[in-house]
């Protein structure tokens, strides 16, 4: 099988943002790409097939994977990109909101992994690329539930990589920071009287990053292409200079010093001093 044109790649959440950029680059490179969206837009002008997929539905996942298998007979790479972003203080978060966050970011990704793994084992090869976040490595205030869902994705991905050690199947986590995406931020139903103002200021910074000052989606797409082509792909890829700095600091600094550094950075944002400068937050 030709390395480039033979590989069949499934990219979830490929109608816009990171997923769209990734599907576009991989198609350009000659891979056989399938993208998904909960409600594919027939007017969307893309060079790859778009299939209906709701990662929160067992039936939808089975139907989507069965269609690709019927067309291609294999799935070589799964890019788990579909995501949900809830921004709220822990005291503003109810159980249903937390469950909704996990349903997409963790259970949705798990459904997809469980769906492709039997086929990959039969093939004797495959690669699962899970789009995590800097928040999956370093918790941030007001992103506690979002970060927890990405922490869970990180944990299960690392466990899976160990479990697949004697197979030809690999797992890679992408940990980007401040990407330009079209993701919509979900807000708490109930605002906390003393925390809502800080949360709203952080949300404004998040929106500015993702709409104006974030890292181009093409950067993540290129990293995905690189790990797919690598003979020994890494387990983790940190994307963004500030993300790399924060991850290094997390590993090297004493806990107290790191917490003080991060608290200072967050204070600049939530106190209203962000201005138009870009403060990197996941």
- Round to whole Å and give the CA distance between 47 and 62: 24
132 noted as active-site residue? yes
Question: Of 66, 78, 77, which Cα lies nearest the Cα of 110?
Answer: 78
- Long-range CB contact pairs, 276-281, < 8 A, 24+: 276/208, 278/178, 278/208, 278/209, 278/213, 279/205, 279/209, 280/134, 280/177, 280/178, 280/209, 280/240, 280/242, 280/243, 280/246, 281/134, 281/140, 281/143, 281/177, 281/178, 281/202, 281/205, 281/206, 281/209
Q: Which of 37, 132, 133, 149 is catalytic?
A: 132
Give the number of C-alpha atoms closer than 13 A to the C-alpha of residue 215, restricted to the C-beta side. 23
CA-to-CA dists, residue 107 to 123, 132, 152, 243, 270, angstroms:
24, 13, 10, 25, 31
Q: Which of 34, 37, 150, 198 is catalytic?
A: 150
CA-to-CA dists, residue 34 to 7, 64, 236, angstroms:
11, 10, 24
Q: Which of 7, 15, 37, 149 is catalytic?
A: 15
231 noted as active-site residue? no
- Round to whole Å and give the CA distance between 78 and 281: 27
34 noted as active-site residue? no
CA-to-CA dists, residue 35 to 48, 54, 223, 270, angstroms:
7, 12, 18, 37
- Round to whole Å and give the CA distance between 229 and 4: 9
Q: Which of 146, 149, 157, 198 is catalytic?
A: 146
Angle (CA) 201-133-77 rounded to 5° is: 145
Give me the active site residues, please: 15, 132, 146, 150
């Amino acid at each position: 099988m030709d390395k480039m044109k033979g590989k069949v790649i499934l990219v979830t959440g490929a109608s816009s943002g990171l997923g769209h950029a990734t599907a576009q680059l991989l198609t350009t490179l000659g891979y056989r790409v399938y993208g998904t969206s909960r409600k594919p837009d027939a007017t969307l002008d893309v060079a790859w097939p778009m299939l209906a997929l709701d990662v929160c539905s067992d039936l939808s996942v089975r139907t989507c994977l069965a269609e690709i298998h019927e067309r291609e007979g294999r799935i070589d790479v799964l890019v788990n990109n579909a995501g949900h972003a809830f921004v709220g203080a822990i005291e503003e978060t109810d159980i249903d909101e937390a469950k909704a966050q996990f349903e997409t970011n963790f259970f949705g990704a798990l459904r997809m992994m469980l769906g492709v793994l039997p086929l990959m084992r039969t093939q004797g090869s495959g690669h699962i690329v899970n789009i995590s976040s800097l928040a999956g490595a370093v918790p941030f205030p007001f992103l506690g539930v979002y970060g927890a869902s990405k922490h869970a994705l990180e944990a299960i991905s690392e466990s899976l990589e160990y479990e697949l050690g004697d197979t030809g199947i690999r797992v890679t986590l992408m940990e980007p920071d401040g990407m330009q995406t079209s993701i919509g931020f979900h807000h708490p139903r109930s605002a906390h009287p003393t925390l809502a103002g800080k949360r709203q200021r952080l949300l404004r910074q998040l929106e500015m990053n993702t709409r104006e000052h974030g890292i181009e989606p093409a950067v993540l797409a290129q990293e995905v292409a690189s790990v797919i082509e690598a003979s020994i792909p890494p387990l983790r890829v940190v994307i963004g200079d500030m993300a790399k700095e924060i991850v290094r600091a997390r590993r090297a600094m004493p806990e107290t010093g790191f917490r003080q550094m991060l608290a200072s950075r967050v204070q600049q944002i939530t106190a209203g001093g962000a201005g138009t400068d870009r403060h990197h937050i996941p």
